[in-house]
Amino acid sequence: MKLTLEKYGFSYSNAGWFNLHSIKYGDDFITEYFPIPVLSVKGVGDIGLSLGHIFIESKEKALNLQLNEFNDYKIEIYGVSDYLKDYYQPSLEIKEYKEKIDKSNEKEFHYTVYLPQGINIDKIIDMIFKLRKHQII
């Protein structure tokens, strides 16, 4: 993955194995105590390789997400301070999630785009370029 990212002009600032990720399981959150590989890519965010999925996570411009452009992907938006509070679920309309964000006390938001495990690296690069095209990163 590092070599392909570099081929497309991306560089990473950090790479390692990190634990204590919280994931939604049904209506609750569980903490994953085992470490997973994560690359912090300059100008993109974190790319994590979890057991069941790959994720791209960033706090850049979460409010710019035009969710209708990403209908084929599972997306989460959550606060930086209270990362267990969801601001977006697939059942919400764009107007509703933006109203929730406007009413919140959060100063910054993260978003996560989930991709299927085993996806071709070129599809990950395509997603990065799609996020960039829509001025989200």
* pTM for the predicted model, two decimal places: 0.77
Tokens of 9: 């002009």
Give, in order, the Cα–Cα distances in Å from 66 to each of 10, 26, 49, 92, 106.
Answer: 24, 25, 25, 13, 20
Contact present, 112 and 75 (Cβ < 8 Å): yes
Domains annotated for the chain, with CATH where assigned, are 2-133 (3.30.930.10)
- Encode pLDDT of 24-80 as tens digits: 777 788 888 999 899 999 888 889 888 778 888 877 677 677 777 777 888 888 887
